[in-house]
Structure 1
Amino acid sequence: MPEAYEHASCFLKSHYGEGRLHVYSFGKHEEDNILCIEVRGTDLASNPLVRVQSACYTAEIFRSTDCDCHEQLHESLKQIFVEGGLIVYMLCDGRGAGLLTKVRGLALGDSDQLDTHDAYVRLGVETDPRDYARVAQVLSHRGVQNCRLLTNNPRKIGGLESHGIAVTRVELEIPATHNSLPYLRTKRTKMGHLLDHLKLG
């Protein structure tokens, strides 16, 4: 059964363009909020371009260089504000495991040379515990039943499809850097991300 939520929206003018910012609040904690940017003029009933992204504060705010999360968000915003569509932003860092778990995992990378996948295993945490039921509710509320999803993660595709959203994948190409290469290699080899376009070695 769909969860209850509160909804509010306002006009948004950004460096990328103009649209409407929606917030869907599913509970009292900050991570229970989902943000949605709807680009002005988008036909949401006609297979819009969509990006679903979960927070990565280290990269998106503090610009850490060991992942491509900032670049994925930046590229998605550029494409969607040109073409029209939606950005759905989940306030759940650490692939849904939380900031404390994320930083503990990064610390294991420093001390024991574990990648993000193996660090989560060591900590006894699911490697990707994100759930996309709320995202599907947000998309349905906006009138989206079919979308072209900017993603390299098959779990996002399956997560939305399992909740009734028809998905066509659109590849999100971000070149690897020296610092992000180990993280991207882990995504491809241990988490099944579709990163064949990258030269990961």
Structure 2
Amino acid sequence: MSQEEAKWESIINDLKNGNNEVLRIFFEKHSRYCISRLTKENQCTKADAEDIFVESIMNLREKLVAGTVDKVMNERSYLYKTCYNMFLVRYRNQKKVNSLSDEITRFYYDSEYQSEETKAMTNELMKITMSAWEHLTEKCRDILHFFYVDKLRMEEISHLMELSNADVAKSTKSRCYKKFMEKAMELKEAESIPSKK
């Protein structure tokens, strides 16, 4: 076994045993480079770039633990390539997600002056939202509630939910929000398709 293979075998064993120190090292070594490239070359906001980078670290961890990746020859290139692919997926879906997100946001600004048609649409979207919410795991509902309703900081959420740190909480929140929006879009599209008799 080569020195490089032994290094990655040790890293994988550490991760499987719950020792995530190497992830902190990867973060410190490569976050500035990856986040800077995403923001400068791809018109990605800094906040989104930070989210994406954390997700790329968690993605690498999952692949190493699952055995779908056993070593990485160039950590920086691998992480940036993962970040770029994640950015492209977000960019492609952003318009659809934003469109539905705007509609869902209107739920909380109902008015007595709405027309009957608008009220009917609001009620329909409320049903879709509640149904999408019920499809989430309890963990996802909790983290979204803590962040969007209770307005807790990520450090507080990570402590309450017994997550390892604020970055993990942030990544988990992003994944849960994405699942929620995707399910809501799926349900909305299904509602718009006439049923066959």
Superposition TM-score, scaled by structure 1 size: 0.24
How high is the TM-score relative to the length of structure 2? 0.25
Structure showing the higher helix proportion among its residues: 2
- Structure 1 or 2, whichever has the larger Rg, is 2
